[in-house]
Structure 1
């Protein structure tokens, strides 16, 4: 799949520009094992890059003109990099222009560039194709023009691009995981300080199966913003009573229970989820370090329960997917992944059982909702990188 992506992207570049690319780069999507909605709550997350990629075939142009070709969309955008850069009504272009704008703000001198990109990251499935596009483009420009940016700076530039040119106030996790990923390693990331450490994630007799509900409810942006407001309000109440609590990391369940009446039902549930999810991330790392995958799976189920019942960001369709596999002995863990209100469930399943399981759940899901499921079997892969092999054209 990776070799085919590299070959077809390179061939398309040659057919458009009449010469082979100078270089080819891969930028991966990501999963998050556990630690949902913690990136804006001073928590830890446990993401990893995966073997689904955006491939960039590139060369420096002899002029100041830039040509961006989205192969999968059959769309092209041309501009002069010296001109003032502003957001457009083409969303895929904005992810890239946002990165270029960040570099111009830092007074980097660039040249024109020709790029063809193509992807195996499914759109809208919560696998962060947007972060892969932003960070991949930033990485390409950094390498081609010897800008001297660190991986951390590239991730932060990608995040700022999304804030300014796309209008999504995302956390840092997606960009960080895409750039910093390592094969068979998850990243325990402190989203506040960006301190991080790698932990082995060779799942032995289990594999990661993503089941895509193929629904995306419109509550995502409004629900996301509302949750942020609710947890901020809850934390302010906690801090008034317990001044030593600077962030949710300092808060314990007993303090919440003491304040349950003052917080009220909704704020209590939201804060209760956050405090327990921070604990679960630390327990998940402990389980991974000991190859205790059953304990990890149990934590995944607990996270989903919290996301659904306390944080209220799941939906009927994804709840169905997780509830269904609870009774399947070959599945040891499952939960909603991503911002919520649709998207994928992430499942830890016995190797070799994936096809039969997917068939069984697909049939039940179609009978319930009349919607076809998609599935993606993923492996944990390395982060954004240049393809070293010689490009054959």
Structure 2
């Protein structure tokens, strides 16, 4: 699939511009093994880049003209490198313009460029196609124009683009995983300090399978904002009782339990999830290092239960998918992935059983909700990079 993506993107570029691209770049989507809703609560996350990509075919020119071609959307956007950049009514363009605006402020060369891009990252599945677009473009510009940006610079620029030109106040995890990903490695990332380290993720007899619910409930933005407010309120109570607690990572379940009545049922559940999830990420790192995949699966299960019951950001479709696959002996872990209210579940499955599982769950899901399921078998891959191999 990667070879076909590269071939199709290159051929489309040659057809549009009558010459070969100067360079090709691949920018991956990402998953998060464990660690949901803790990025804004001083926690850790455990993301990884995956083998679903946006491919960029790029060349420079001396005219200052810039052309962006989104092959999959059959859409084009033209401008001049000296133009003042502002958000436009095409959302896909804004991800790119937001990055370019920052690069220009850093002394971007006065040269034009042409880009064709195409993707195998499923749109709307929660695999961060937007971060792949931002960081892939930033990485390409950095290479072509020798901008001397670090990987961290590129991740931060991608995040800032989303804040400013797109209007989404996202965390740094998606961009970081896209840029820093390594093959068969997960990243333990401290979202507060950006300190990180890598941990083995060769699942041996198991594989990662994503099941796309194809639903995205409108609660996502409102629910996210309400949850943030609730945990902030909970932390005020915690700090007033335990002055030495600076953040949720300093708080214990015992401390929470001792002030359960003060917090009330809702705030207690929200805070309990956060404290438990931060610990689960640390436990998951130990499980991976010990190749204890049964333990990792148990932690994934516990995360889903916490997201569904304590944090209440799941939905009937995701709960159904998780409950259905957990009945299968070949599935050792399953949970919803991402912000919630739709998107994908991530499942740890015995290799060789995926096809039968997909067939069974697809039929059950169709019967229950009348929705066609999509399934993605994924592998953990390296982050954004230039593609230099010649295709045969």
TM-score range, shorter chain: over 0.9
Q: Partner residue of 1:213?
A: 213
Distance 1:108 1:212 in 2: 39
SS at structure 1 position matched to 2:360: helix
Q: Which residue of 1 aligns with 2:354?
A: 354
Say whether the 8 Å CA contact 2:199–2:288 is kept in structure 1: yes
Aligned pairs for 1:352-391 (under 5 A) are 352-390=352-390
Q: If the length of structure 2 is used for normalisation, what is the TM-score?
A: 0.99
CA deviation profile, 1:268-313 (whole Å, cap 9, x unmatched): 1111000000000000000000000000000000000000011111
* CA positional deviation for 1:105: 2.7
What per-residue deviation string (whole Å, max 9, x for no partner) do you get for residues 168-204 of structure 1?
Answer: 1111000000000000000000011111100010000
Distance 2:66 2:270 in 1: 46
For 1:5 and 1:61, locate their aligned partners in 2 and report how far apart those are by CA, in whole Å.
24
Measure the CA separation in 1 of the matches of 2:226 and 2:18: 50
1:321-375 Cα shifts (integer Å, max 9, x gaps): 0011111000000000011100000000000100100111111111110101000
Query: 3-state DSSP class of the match of 1:377?
Result: strand
CA distance in 2, matches of 1:17, 1:232: 53
1:78 aligned partner: 78
Q: Which residue of 2 aligns with 1:41?
A: 41
Aligned pair 1:192/2:198, yes or no?
no
Alpha-carbon separation, structure 2, partners of 1:258 and 1:387: 55
Q: What are the ranges of 5 or more consecutive residues in structure 2 without an aligned counterpart?
A: none
Q: Distance in 1 between matches of 2:389 and 2:277?
A: 42
* CA positional deviation for 1:232: 1.2
Residue 273 of structure 1 is matched in structure 2 by 273
CA distance in 1, matches of 2:10, 2:177: 25
CA contact 1:269–1:311 (8 Å) conserved in 2: yes
| Residue aligning to 2:244 | 244
Q: Deviations over 1:35-54 (max 9, x none)?
A: 01111111000000000000
**Aligned partners of 1:372 and 1:390: how far apart in 2?**
37
TM-score, normalised via structure 1 length: 0.98
- Further displaced range: 232-241 or 133-142: 232-241
- Residue of structure 2 in register with 1:99 after alignment: 99
Q: Secondary structure at the match of 1:332?
A: strand
CA contact under 8 A between 1:110 and 1:145: conserved in structure 2?
A: no
> Which stretches in structure 1 are left out of the alignment for 5+ residues?
none
Please give the residue correspondences for 1:1-393 in structure 2 after superposition, counting only pairs within 5 Å: 1-390=1-390
Q: Judge conservation of contact 2:5–2:119 (CA < 8 Å) in 1.
A: yes
- Which deviates more from structure 2 when the two are superposed, residues 329-338 or residues 95-104? 95-104
| RMSD over aligned Cα atoms | 0.9
